[in-house]
Structure 1
């Protein structure tokens, strides 16, 4: 019985030559993400900003956003964000941190419950103070930074320095584009988002290590092969595994997006995007980057070094006494 092959084993696609398009594309998206981050900013959730989040479900079908907004603004608690989400009839309210500390926040929740419980079911209430939100920001940022440093240390131990740097560049690329996803979609950025980013870091590392491990084997086997051809060979030889992994993971995440419900939908959306980006970067960013990081077969490196020494000796001999 012949096994199913999503990607042919004997493929000879020249992936590396597409770096003339993938590098400018990734650079443009990364720069745009940084600009949006500095100008527009992320849609931080209560975890990071502090305040109170309330989620309501209308008891009579579609929610009246205008009425909900008018009622919330009548509390005179400062700026209030009112948004509809889900299939219909679901509304989220975000109240800023109130002067007076925890008693003031509790009084606000009580007042809001009394105002909305007649027409809406109170599905969720979360209150986070400024001190807790600040600690969460620091912890989340520290977690991402430490994960990247750990990746660099692991790859430096596992591979040569050039391969480690290439893998870290690919991982940073995936993180930046994932942040761009949050900026463009305006999806709430909270502690679950940090968990999604850390998971994407692990997936990106996994995809890159598989390709680089084959690259290291081929560097020892084909000592005279040009670097771009060797990288194409390593990508093609692992492409069947890469496509199978990405496809099965994406299908699982798609099921979570469609049927997982509101609690996990945001995480699944980010992860689905991350799987696509990680697969793209492992093929079109991390591997071609090795060309510019000086990765060569041992024979070619020795030949280039010998040619450079010969040229230097020839220049010295031509100098007038």
Structure 2
């Protein structure tokens, strides 16, 4: 029985032929993503902004009565709530600032949550409280700062690792690819306004790891081919290297996407944002390994001599003496 091969052994796709248009498109997408982040902002969860979030489902209603809820909660005297649809049209999240003094007396937060949920259930008998989360402002600020530092330090550490293992040009290429992947993922959350919390930070770190793994596989093959085919033009060598690793890339991405598709369609709503982030990350991570990390080596002047050890004067004299003898 012959094994199924999604990528034939003689595959020869000229990826580098379109490197300039793809670089332009990717640059525009990165720019657009950051514009959307600054204009729309990220829908930060309670993890990052502090406060209390109450998730409510109206079981007997097609849509949640957002306007009525806002008025009912405001009457309780805890300030203006932030109410957004969460998941299905009949599901909402109600975010409230913590009452003054709650840092010293956590009971005040519990009392506020109890009063709000009681008022909602009294006005809407079909209301079901799915969860109540509370995070102090100090803790949320620390979580946000730590999460952003984790993303930045992870990308820098990865670039240094690749720099040491290969050459500095490879480290720059890997860092550019990671910036591309993270920017597009953040742009997705700025456009869709899905909640951005600690789970999404974990998803982005996972994307960084996946993208790095895919990039290193391609870079390792490029390094081997640079030693093997010294006279081959670099664009052709990069195409050869990408094609030689394409079967592994396709199989890895496809198996992951099958699992992620099941989670997107059948998984719980609470991890939808996490799953959506990783799904996009698989696409952009694979794309950046081929069209970002590899072509940039041409502009960074990588040559066939990049991995040839530098010969000292003494070694040169000894080599010439051996050749004459």
Please indicate, yes or no, whether the TM-score normalized by the shorter chain is above 0.5. Answer: yes
The structural deviation recorded for 1:68 is 1.9
1:27 aligns with 27
Moved more, 59-68 or 88-97: 59-68
Cα drift, residue 87 of structure 1: 3.5
1:45 equivalenced with 2:45 (yes/no)? yes
Q: Which runs of 5+ in 2 are unaligned?
A: 309-325
SS state of the match for residue 114, structure 1? helix
Determine if contact 1:215/1:231 at 8 Å carries over to the other structure: yes
Residue 152 of structure 1 and its aligned partner are, at CA, apart by: 1.7
Contact 2:40 2:191 in 1 (8 A): no
Asked if 1:117 is matched to 2:117, the reply is: no
Distance 1:60 1:146 in 2: 48
TM-score using structure 2 length: 0.88
Partner of 2:110: 106
SS in 2 for 1:121: strand
Deviations 1:219-242 (A, max 9, x none): 000000001000000011111111
CA–CA separation in structure 2 for the residues paired with 1:197 and 1:176: 10
Question: Does 18-27 or 53-62 show the bigger shift?
Answer: 53-62
Give the 3 Å change call, closer, same or farther, for CA 85–37 of structure 1 in structure 2: closer
Partner in structure 2 of residue 10 of structure 1: 10
Is 1:159 the counterpart of 2:166? The answer is yes
CA-to-aligned-CA distance 1:14-66 (integer Å, 9 cap, x gap):
10121121111111111112222223211111111111100012242433333
Q: Given that residues 159 and 172 in structure 2 are in contact (C-alpha distance below 8 angstroms), is that contact kept between their aligned partners in structure 1?
A: yes
Show the counterpart of 2:87. Answer: 86
- For 1:82-117, what per-residue CA distance to the aligned partner results, in whole angstroms no more than 9, with x for missing partners? 222334432211112333334543332121121123
Alignment of 1:249-288 (within 5 A): 249-288=256-295
CA distance in 2, matches of 1:19, 1:79: 51
Preserved CA contact (<8 Å) 1:257 1:268: yes
Separation (CA, whole Å) in 1 of partners of 2:31 and 2:80:
31
Structure 2 match to 1:212: 219
Q: Which moved more, 1:103-112 or 1:289-298?
A: 103-112
Give the corresponding residue for 1:129. Answer: 136
CA distance in structure 1 between the aligned counterparts of 2:304 and 2:275, rounded to whole angstroms: 41
Indicate the RMSD between aligned Cα atoms, in angstroms. Answer: 1.9
Specify every segment of 5 or more residues in structure 1 that has no aligned partner in the other structure, as ranges: 302-321
State how far apart, in whole Å, the 1-side matches of 2:98 and 2:118 are: 20
| Residues paired across the two proteins, number | 302
Q: Which residue of 2 aligns with 1:289?
A: 296
C-alpha contact (below 8 Å) 2:177/2:292 kept by paired residues: yes
Secondary structure of 2:195's counterpart equals coil
C-alpha contact (below 8 Å) 1:61/1:88 kept by paired residues: no
Are 1:236 and 2:240 counterparts?
no
Return the alpha-carbon distance in structure 2 between the equivalents of residues 217 and 111 of structure 1: 67
**Which residue in the other structure is 2:150 paired with?**
143
Moved more, 106-115 or 72-81: 72-81
Local SS of the residue matching 1:298: coil
Contact 1:218–1:230, Cα closer than 8 Å, also in 2: yes
* TM-score, length-scaled by structure 1: 0.89
Deviation of residue 4 (structure 1)?
Answer: 1.2
Q: Equivalents in 1 of 2:203, 2:131: separation in Å?
A: 22
